[in-house]
Amino acid sequence: MESINRVVVGVSGASGAVLAVQVLELLSQNPSIETHLVISNAARQTLAHEVGPLAVTALLEMSDYIYDIGAIGAKIASGSFQVSGMIVVPCSMRTLSAIACGNTDNLLTRAADVQLKERRKLVLLARETPLHLGHLRNMVSVTEMGAIVMPPVPGFYQKPQDVSEIVHHISARAIDLLGLPLRQFARPWDGGAREVVSSATAALR
């Protein structure tokens, strides 16, 4: 029997709330993954605004365990609770800054801090544009502490047909960064050079 991989999913109030829905959908499809969800108060607003009034309910239904943002005594606030890692999707600049400073003012930032202190994976889909020096410095700080900063930027080399393909690809890449002992979620790059060569060859015919 496959062992259970516990993953903490933190959702903060940056734009890109749909990424949280997609990440949880992908994780919930794998029975060997147990999800622990915490949503910030601002994220409840962005989810409703960007995805719709039922977005929060959908997230709660797809998660195995749900925690209140103020529940700083919850299991995921302790390093003794073994988890494989945590994704913050999307990660606002406020939450990034709190993590960078070790300011564990709510359960989301406390759980992120726990990943760092326990030397576990922490993937931050940090989203803002443009970025000021403080944002960049916070990204450097969390990277120095062991987190992975993955801004949710589309990879156009995959030639996405619509927004849902972009959302799927970013979400799958983020999950892959957790390094779970599972099959890769994202479709790997298959070498665009071959396509270019074959179309060039076709043009010569």
Ligand X SMILES: Cc1cc2nc3c(=O)[nH]c(=O)nc-3n(C[C@H](O)[C@H](O)[C@H](O)COP(=O)(O)O)c2cc1C
DSSP, res 204? H
At its nearest, how many Å lie between ligand X and the CB of residue 26? 22
As beta bridge partners, residue 5 has: 33
Nearer to ligand X, 121 or 127 (CB): 127
Nearer to ligand X, 11 or 177 (CB): 11
* Half-sphere exposure of residue 124: CA atoms within 13 angstroms, side-chain side: 36
**Distance separating alpha carbons of residues 20 and 43, to the nearest angstrom:** 10
Nearer to ligand X, 85 or 90 (CB): 90
Q: What is the CA radius of gyration of the chain?
A: 18
At its nearest, how many Å lie between ligand X and the CB of residue 153? 13
Residues 6+ apart with CB under 8 A from 104: 72, 98, 110, 113
Binding site for ligand X (CB under 6 A): 12-15, 40, 42-43, 45-46, 49, 92-95, 127-128
The residue with its CB nearest to ligand X is: 13
Contact 14, 93 (CB under 8 A): yes
Contact 148, 121 (CB under 8 A): yes
Nearer to ligand X, 30 or 103 (CB): 103
Residue 21 CA from chain centroid, whole number = 10
**Tokens linked to 203:** 């043009």
At its nearest, how many Å lie between ligand X and the CB of residue 124? 11
**Distance separating alpha carbons of residues 112 and 49, to the nearest angstrom:** 25
Nearer to ligand X, 30 or 141 (CB): 141
At its nearest, how many Å lie between ligand X and the CB of residue 43? 5
**Distance separating alpha carbons of residues 142 and 25, to the nearest angstrom:** 27
At its nearest, how many Å lie between ligand X and the CB of residue 39? 9
Nearer to ligand X, 63 or 109 (CB): 109
At its nearest, how many Å lie between ligand X and the CB of residue 14? 4
